[in-house]
Structure 1
């Protein structure tokens, strides 16, 4: 796993080798007692929450751990922080760890926010003098007003998240672990929190993020680890693992599907999954006037996105979805024929469909991709016939518009008025 900056020397801050955690359930308390006394017994069952986990994290690197609920993510984080001991394997941490694993973990509901901040800071190893100096910043960042002096039991979950994050990040740690806790906060605080996470990363803190927000993973992380049934199923670049995970979710919700991945010469990862009952045979970008194929669109150009589909079986209901993303994987736009009320019904083998999506190119200069999805219902979780990530890649160039930055073009110029009606006061 590479560091965040190849020009900056990095060191291994976390090393996980062959880690596994086994929980044992005994048939009775007597059998448990005999086991503790050193006697063997078959009257027990074993459950491995994690098994054979290997990975490392470099200084300044952001790593996401993703997977469905119950996959073993939280158990792994507890072993990394030392609150749970692994049954097998070793974990080596070089530096300080600040972890936000569970909402309210370590807080006393009868203590005020200030008292809980002192208590949690003390558990982090901070002295009374350090906490006295940090408390104004903690209070300011949490932004909970008068509630800072009120008992935690009157806090909303979002307020608890604000306090927990403010305390956990009062001092920049070597490793910051965040497990879903920010998802309970409001969008404003999530934005501020991720800004601080990015700042820490730039300053050399290693980030371990557990989240179901794949956009956060694409935006922040350098490496992604996918865990399924307690084991690492796949790890690698964010686009590769996230796209595979999305396809895997559809696979679990539908019949057995194929998942194929390949990266083109421009670096775009193309992931395809689905039953193949309906497939995209052609996806092109055309000039709306000439209908000629376009590889590099111009800002402001009228375009048509044309998609041709072949039906390979009986389909009672077919929905086409499209999504545009930029080079960083951020979604620029997305919709489907379910929402536009253009669902096709009672299709048979051999039927062919042609979809045309006209639009004005208001994208900024750069490289973009189009993902297509053929499903039965509103999402690919309801009979995924075909999902193709980054099936079409195109560039946008600015030929005749004023220079601008960003991913969106606003087709307006500044209107300026100058008021010279004011009078100058001349002193004698």
Structure 2
């Protein structure tokens, strides 16, 4: 079983005012420092227990790739240490270790040996590697002829040909086609069930929430947050929005869920209610039942354009359905300070049995990223039961018409 322990990890690069300063520091006697340190990462601490999956998220430049390179040993840390146990397989950079003039088959032998496999191991695994990669006759063509997707297919196939104790995956999977991404994540899930420890860097909210037990958020080279994948991704989503006069707050609700509220505060959600067809409050609905989502909104400042949206998420935080008034051509304009608006969305609960939450977004333009007045996660929680339709599984009710002949 593999375990990763990161203690006080930091990485800094020396910055010299001129090339002569670098030379002087090397050759002149004395201990005078002629450089400044530029820190990429500082004071990173976390532990990944055997069999656990940890997601790492953060904006570009936050230090995610540098962290993985230090964990795998391809970059030495300036401070701190990394301890790992078990056999490690890492997929950090696309085609890492592949030589462009060697064939795919030759590169498999080289990459496999770097992973600690013997030539006999690689030879016995080669048919499975070829079958999983599905690149056909290109396996015997030079790697320089490969597309980025083909490189990723072969690299992932080699790295996961034998179940590792620790699997570390960077953004490389994002370049693959949808079919191979599903295939790759199925293999990752299977290895997880068998006890593989996983470290996953991705901007894919769905992947982080579906696979990982826990997540950490890196921001400006520091560990900004650690917690459940849903709460970390909600916070990350809020950080992506416009930061001018922008707040991000999190608080634990009575049911233990972490609610993230972000935005400039120019408009705010006063109340949100789920109602039945007769306008009565609803906490538990039936599959297919018609409901109304009623929002009361107050303009704290004058607003030229207001778009209102909602997002339904399942109990794991996965997005089920979301839309807003922009996409339905109902944008509110020229609203005055102190003005109150009530808006209502009517829809059928074509959902599977389970617990769901609703996030509310008040913003300008088509998304909250440009002008976010208020984004409120877990603004409402409700449950769905099946009392009137045929038994089914899943989060969506898609009743078929069945014919036979």
Normalised TM-score (structure 2): 0.96
User: Residue 257 of structure 2 is aligned with which of 257, 261, 268?
Assistant: 268
Figure out how many residues of one structure are paired with residues of the other and give that number.
Answer: 404
What is the correspondence of 1:168-317 to structure 2 with a 5 Å cutoff? 168-250=159-241, 253-288=242-277, 290-317=278-305
- Residue deviations 1:142-185 (CA, integer Å, cap 9, x gap): 01111111111111111111011001101111111111000000
What SS does the aligned partner of 1:340 have?
coil
Query: Is 1:132 equivalent to 2:120 in the alignment?
Result: no
What is the correspondence of 1:97-112 to structure 2 with a 5 Å cutoff? 97-112=88-103
Q: Is the 8 A contact 1:254 1:381 kept in 2?
A: no
Distance 2:364 2:159 in 1: 45
What SS does the aligned partner of 1:256 have?
coil
What residue in structure 2 maps to residue 321 of structure 1? 309
User: Residue 45 of structure 2 is aligned with which of 54, 68, 72?
Assistant: 54
What residue in structure 2 maps to residue 26 of structure 1? 16
Q: CA deviation at 1:12?
A: 6.9
Distance 2:143 2:227 in 1: 40
Q: CA deviation at 1:29?
A: 4.0
Q: Is the 8 A contact 1:14 1:93 kept in 2?
A: yes
Taking structure 1 as reference, are residues 45 and 193 closer, same or farther at Cα in structure 2, changes over 3 Å only? same
Distance 2:102 2:166 in 1: 28
Q: Is the 8 A contact 2:7 2:81 kept in 1?
A: yes
Q: Is the 8 A contact 1:254 1:383 kept in 2?
A: no
What residue in structure 1 maps to residue 321 of structure 2? 333
Q: CA deviation at 1:277?
A: 1.1
- Residue deviations 1:360-395 (CA, integer Å, cap 9, x gap): 111111111111100011111212110001101100
Q: Is the 8 A contact 1:61 1:206 kept in 2?
A: yes
What residue in structure 1 maps to residue 25 of structure 2? 35
Query: Is 1:390 equivalent to 2:396 in the alignment?
Result: no
Q: 4+ residue runs of structure 1 moved beyond 4 angstroms?
A: 412-417
Q: CA deviation at 1:41?
A: 3.7
- Residue deviations 1:242-286 (CA, integer Å, cap 9, x gap): 111111222xx2323222222333343221111221111121111
What SS does the aligned partner of 2:235 have?
helix
User: Residue 365 of structure 1 is aligned with which of 353, 357, 367?
Assistant: 353
What SS does the aligned partner of 1:402 have?
coil
- Residue deviations 1:193-213 (CA, integer Å, cap 9, x gap): 111111111111111111111
What residue in structure 2 maps to residue 345 of structure 1? 333
- Residue deviations 1:9-35 (CA, integer Å, cap 9, x gap): xx7711111111111022344432443
What SS does the aligned partner of 1:404 have?
coil
> Where do 5+ consecutive residues of structure 1 fail to align?
1-10, 418-428
Greater C-alpha Rg: 1
What SS does the aligned partner of 2:129 have?
helix
What is the correspondence of 1:75-154 to structure 2 with a 5 Å cutoff? 75-154=66-145
Q: CA RMSD in A?
A: 1.6
Normalised TM-score (structure 1): 0.91
> Where do 5+ consecutive residues of structure 2 fail to align?
none
Distance 1:268 1:92 in 2: 33
Distance 1:135 1:153 in 2: 20
Q: CA deviation at 1:309?
A: 1.0
Distance 1:80 1:363 in 2: 42
Q: CA deviation at 1:353?
A: 1.5
Distance 2:304 2:345 in 1: 23
Q: Is the 8 A contact 1:34 1:40 kept in 2?
A: no
